[in-house]
Chains A and B, each alone.
Chain A
Amino acid sequence: MDKELENNNIIENKALIECKNVDVFYANQQALFGINLNIGEKEVTSLIGPSGCGKSTFLRCINRMNDVIDICRVEGSIKISNEDIYHPDIDVVELRSRIGMVFQKPNPFPKSVYDNVAYGPKLHGRILHKDDLDEKVEKSLERAGLWSEVKDRLSEPGTSLSGGQQQRLCIARAIAIDPSIILMDEPCSALDPIATAKIEELIDELKDNFTITIVTHSMQQAARVSQRTAFFHLGKLIEVGDTEKIFRSPDHEQTEAYVTGRYG
């Protein structure tokens, strides 16, 4: 009960995403237990916790990517800008077009760099002229910090880039659909430290325009990039609060044990 209080405490009224009593089941196995978590607008929230604690599952609830999995069932309510995204009237495809997602492993499409970024805008038909599309692609790549590296290689396949570049391409691809929210599922787990540093820098810049939720296994990363941190354990949300507080003086013993590396 005190958990809920904490939640409400920390989030004033600038919460963009409000989750109430979210339960997730895979067939008969419950993966998430009554998650109450609010995510603030235009800030970075990191989800940490040991493997299998349900943080990725929770992330995938936000853009309903769990719908893809047949045996997965989501209960409770998740509201984005006060709109229940699990309401039957919600168009999932439209919902996802408002939320960008970056995956664990870079997954550029087997298309050119240009087509990778143009994929979303073309799909949603918001851009009609070739010039506008060119501009959109350039701007997205620029915001992902990739433009200078790939501006001469736009027609090369996206898969020919290095791992870090591929991941930034995927971020550019997500930005290109003008989302309000970007979800990142361990975006740096397949990257080397230098590429990781670049992505972290990028996340820091992006937070001025986007609400970012990032799942990460690296505590340092969570500490570096996020304003708020939520700690998950065994499908439960143990604690959420300002990143500084979570890492300096967490309320829960479990949280402390985890962030200090004694556990998990």
Chain B
Amino acid sequence: MIIVLGLLSFTIAKQRALLYLQNNEPLRSMPVYHGLYVSLWAFLIPFFLIILFLTFKANYLNYLVTPYLSEETISLGSEEIMYVKNFLINNISNLNNLINSGFISEADSNSLIEKYQNSRLISFIFVIVLSIVLSFVSYRKLSVRFDARRRVESILKFIFFIFSTIAVLTTIGIILSLIFETLRFFSQVGFFDFVFGTHWSPQTAIREDQVGSSGSFGAIPLFTGTLLITAVAMSIAAPLGLYSAIFLSQYAKPKTRDFLKPILEILAGIPTVVYGFFAALTVGPFVRSCGEYIGLTVATESALAAGLVMGIMIIPYVSSLSDDVMTAVPLSLRDGSLALGATQAETVKKVIIPAALPGIVSALLLAISRAIGETMIVVMAAGLAANLTANPLSAVTTVTVQIVTLLVGDQEFDSAKTLAAFALGLMLFVITLALNVFAMIIVRRYRERYE
């Protein structure tokens, strides 16, 4: 409705501005801006109002139904009150349900519904009237000399500011919630036990007398597992990705490149679940039989299998980005090197790669953070056993996998087991953040030296 009003006011205002033009009056701003100015007023403020209404709707409904609770319900305690309230709120537009439920009498039902519908009507009319009034007020301001363009610009600037703030605030909110939950976790489990503990078995007692009721929350095995798998993955992805990037950007003919690059990028589009069962069903058994052939005992779920598949998954992150930065190295540098009698390989090694290094480093680090955060492949291919080992042939588990297993289950939300997930999440976040900062420092230092 307000969209229609906004459009309507846009057309009217534009028409008026066009009228000035037809009368050969020196219009200061383009007619479009006159239209935009009025319609922004007619649309934006009511729009934010609607959002505000919707935000506080739940609180309002809560307030609305509270007087209708029967004394019997109130005497039953807070949980029952919550239940009845929710029932009333959910069925607030359905008279039959309200009466049949027995929580509320017929007369009360009617008055509740009436109140609800009145308030809806009032807020609706309020928004519409506001929209009309605002468009009218802003319409009155239009004149030949009116500087609609600059005002529209500043309104738009404000809108963009709001949106960027929303994005930033959301991020901050997520981080804060992580931090608070983590603090709660550390009130139950010691900080050092968590960060430096070498044993991970996250059990908490459901009953006091349960066997093995005290869990241990040493995160070291998880992080070594993550590191191990990431290392395996990078040892696959870094050379493969880098060399294919060199081929694509330096040796391949444009046609070949146009053909190969999208195919390589498809690798990044395969769902990780697919990689996961590929790892679990094909690569895992293959690695094991290979290992057995040369006399090694390999677990079916091994870090090696998961790492291999993960490495293949992140090849496109390395290759595609590195290819872009290497292609972006000025042709004049390449020509300069070739003209000095360097072969193509010498040129790549001594000129192209040094010039593209900041980009290549950030491509590698992006791939690493991708590998650290990867969950699905590891769940399926590397197992759940938290072994503290550096042997890629044994089963390991990673931080992300443990977060999943901690939260999947019917533990109550404030147990140490669930809260541990937040602590792990925070640590993971800190690590990837540190990695990114580290990458940025390297890149900046390199730039300073060579630019």
Q: Which residues of A contact B (CB under 8 A)?
A: 63, 65, 68, 70, 93-101, 103, 105, 107, 109-111, 119-120, 123-124, 157, 159, 170, 173-174, 177
Contact = CB atoms under 8 A, between A and B. Distances in A.
A34 to B, nearest CB: 26
Contact of B340 (A110, A111, A120, A157): A120
B107 interface: no
B213 interface: no
A68 B166 CA distance: 50
B19 interface: no
Closest 6 CB pairs of A and B: A97-B341, A101-B339, A110-B450, A107-B332, A96-B341, A120-B340
A68 B340 contact: no
18 contacts: A68-B338, A93-B342, A94-B341, A96-B340, A100-B340, A103-B335, A107-B330, A109-B336, A110-B333, A110-B450, A119-B342, A120-B342, A123-B346, A123-B350, A124-B341, A157-B450, A157-B451, A177-B341
Contact of B354 (A98, A99, A110, A159): A110
B132 interface: no
Nearest to B254: A70
A105 to B, nearest CB: 6
Contacts of B350: 109, 119, 123
Interface in B314-369: 330, 332-343, 346, 350-351, 354-355
B337 A119 contact: yes
A95 B339 CA distance: 9
A173 to B, nearest CB: 7
Question: Looking at B332, B354, B355, B451, which has the most chain A CB atoms within 10 Å of its CB?
Answer: B332
Nearest to B255: A70
A119 B340 contact: yes
A28 to B, nearest CB: 17
Contact of A100 (B332, B339, B342): B339
A109 B338 contact: no
B253 A174 contact: no
A177 B332 contact: no
Q: Which size class do B's interface residues fall under?
A: 20 to 34
Interface of B: 253-254, 330, 332-343, 346, 350-351, 354-355, 449-451
Given A109-B333, A159-B450, A70 B339 contact: no
Contacts of B343: 93
Given A110-B450, A159-B450, A70 B338 contact: no
Contacts of B342: 93, 119-120, 123
Contacts of A68: 334-335, 338
Contact of A65 (B254, B338, B351, B449): B338
B451 A159 contact: yes
Given A68-B335, A103-B332, A109-B351, 17 more contacts: A65-B335, A65-B339, A93-B341, A93-B342, A93-B343, A94-B341, A97-B340, A101-B340, A107-B332, A107-B336, A109-B337, A109-B350, A119-B350, A157-B450, A159-B450, A174-B339, A174-B340
A124 B338 CA distance: 12
A258 B258 CA distance: 43
A109 B338 CA distance: 12
Given A123-B346, A159-B450, A159-B451, A107 B341 contact: no
Question: Looking at A68, A103, A107, A111, which has the most chain B CB atoms within 10 Å of its CB?
Answer: A107
A212 to B, nearest CB: 15
A70 B253 contact: yes
Contacts of A101: 335-336, 339-340
Contacts of A93: 341-343
A159 B449 CA distance: 9
A124 B334 CA distance: 17
Contact of B449 (A96, A107, A157): A157
A105 B333 CA distance: 10
A100 B343 CA distance: 15
Contacts of A159: 450-451
A177 B335 contact: no
Contacts of B449: 157
Contacts of A95: 341
B151 to A, nearest CB: 44
A107 B334 CA distance: 9
Contacts of A105: 332
A190 to B, nearest CB: 11
Nearest to B448: A157
Nearest to A109: B351
B251 to A, nearest CB: 11
A170 B336 contact: yes
A187 B307 CA distance: 52
Given A93-B343, A120-B341, A123-B342, A107 B450 contact: no
A110 B351 CA distance: 7
Contacts of A97: 340-341
Nearest to B350: A119
A107 B335 contact: yes
Contacts of A173: 336, 340
Nearest to A124: B341
Contacts of B335: 65, 68, 101, 103, 107
B254 A177 contact: no
B264 to A, nearest CB: 21
B333 A107 contact: yes
